Amino acid sequence: MNIIPSSKNLARYQEIITVLARHGFGWLAAELKLRGLLPLTQRLNGTGVVESSVQATHLRLAFEELGTTFIKLGQVLSTRADLLSPEYIAELAKLQDATPSVPYEQIVAVFEAELEASPEDIFAAFDPAPIASASIGQVHAARLPGGEDVVVKIQRPGAAALVDRDLDILLDLAGLIAEHTGFGRDYDVLGLAQEFAFNLRCELNYIREGQNADRFRQAFANDPDLHIPQVYWDYTTERVIVLERLKGIKVNDLAALETAAIDRQQIAANSVRLMLEEMFVHGFFHADPHPGNLYVLADGRIGMMDFGMVGRLDEKLQESLTRLFLALSKGDSERMIDELITSGIAQGQFNRKTLKQDLDHMIACYANSSVEDLAAARIFNELTGLARWHHLQLPNDLVLMAKVMAISEGLGLQLDPDFQFIPFAQPYLERYWLQRHSPW
């Protein structure tokens, strides 16, 4: 029996199912009992299947064709090695969120609707040509009457409504996947979709982004190595945010750093130390610290941008992850399983005996390696591979943390080829642990 959703979004529902079928995923429409949404020709000729070797490529192409929400979904899934095989992870990681800019007249209309004034009324100067453009918003350079250089991020017309529509459909599809597929029975697909929808809706609200920036600035107010841009709240709304413009060198522009005589080893150490402190001291971390969001300022401080996506680690998870790291370093697989359960990695039904055997094998592979030879990204990739094999679903914030650590480790190595993440991190983690358990 086919299901025909009774929804105001029926036309978009049909478009999504049709695009997926055209890229070889028509079997999913059949499995979810949605074949009735397909055009008659596709129903008569079959839903089509592409070879397994190119399925991942076609999923990426389908997501690109379906636009903003699906590109964002693909980017999130590209971090979920606990859910998807390596070929899907590699292909979805290619999804980019850069789109052609919106005509000036349309973007100004959003600005005027939010602030009841034109850019010319508020700014001493406003560049109509954007300096960056993505699927949700675009960024313009401007100058306030007091002389402060700022960036103005303005949401694309209709972006929130389009994302809301697609998220409603995704939540419907997640419910059907949970009900009709083995994958949906093994994993909390609906919970994953709900968390994705919550995070993307937060990203659409620029007031939340400004609040995140303020929270980071307060947390690191006394840190000499980090600068968080000021939020100009008089000109910030849900669809417009005005921030101090950072002027510096992109953190991965090695030639420019050399020319400016900036100590790259110190920048590597500072960037990783700040990331560890975000996670294990404040429990609140920048979840998208790619090099485009990090600048080295003239005085050597790291300037951090774009606080639309953040992760959180509560105290229980912070402590459990520290104990997990220590258990791994001691080769204690039983303790590792206990901490996997405590941290929420090992949820639901799993075979403790076989998981212990696999962890023992992983530990044995590292037994002859010195701590200097270990890489955090590689260790986490192996743990997520085990999680997928044992049908364990990782908490989203833990996945974000691992992604951020991997980016941080890679950046550290770019800046300083001799940088060793785990030896660098170990004394900091031990210090954070002792500070938390000190009686004073």
Which of the residues are catalytic? 288
- List residues bridging with 125 in a β-sheet: 143
How far is CA 215 from its chain centroid?
Answer: 19
Number of H helices, E strands in the chain: 20, 11
The distance from CA 197 to its chain's CA centroid, rounded to whole angstroms, is 13
Measured from the Cβ of residue 86, the count of other Cβ atoms closer than 10 Å reads: 12
Structure tokens at 273: 């130390």
Conformation bin of residue 103: beta by default, left when phi > 0, alpha when psi is -120 to 50: beta
For residues 75 and 73, give the distance between their C-alpha atoms in angstroms, rounded to a whole number. 5
266, 314 Cβ separation under 8 angstroms: no
How far apart are alpha carbons 318 and 103 in whole angstroms? 46
* Host H or E run for residue 310: strand 310-312
User: In angstroms, how far apart are the furthest CA atoms of the chain?
Assistant: 74
* Contacts for 244 with CB less than 8 Å, ≥ 6 apart: 148, 149, 150, 151, 229, 230, 231, 232
Query: Is 223:274 a contact under the CB 8 Å cutoff?
Result: yes
DSSP state of 345: S
Beta bridge partner(s), residue 115: none
Handedness of CA 171, 173, 176, 180 (dihedral sign): negative
Beta carbons within 8 Å of 92's beta carbon, 6+ residues apart: 56, 59, 60, 63, 74, 75, 77, 78, 84
Give the other-Cβ count within 10 Å of 352's Cβ. 12
Nearest to 173 by CA among 186, 160, 192: 192
Q: Could you tell me if 9 and 167 are in contact, meaning their C-beta atoms sit under 8 angstroms apart?
A: no
User: Residue 376 carries which side chain, given as an amino acid letter?
Assistant: A
d(CA 286, CA 397): 11
User: How many other CB atoms sit within 10 Å of the CB of residue 78?
Assistant: 19
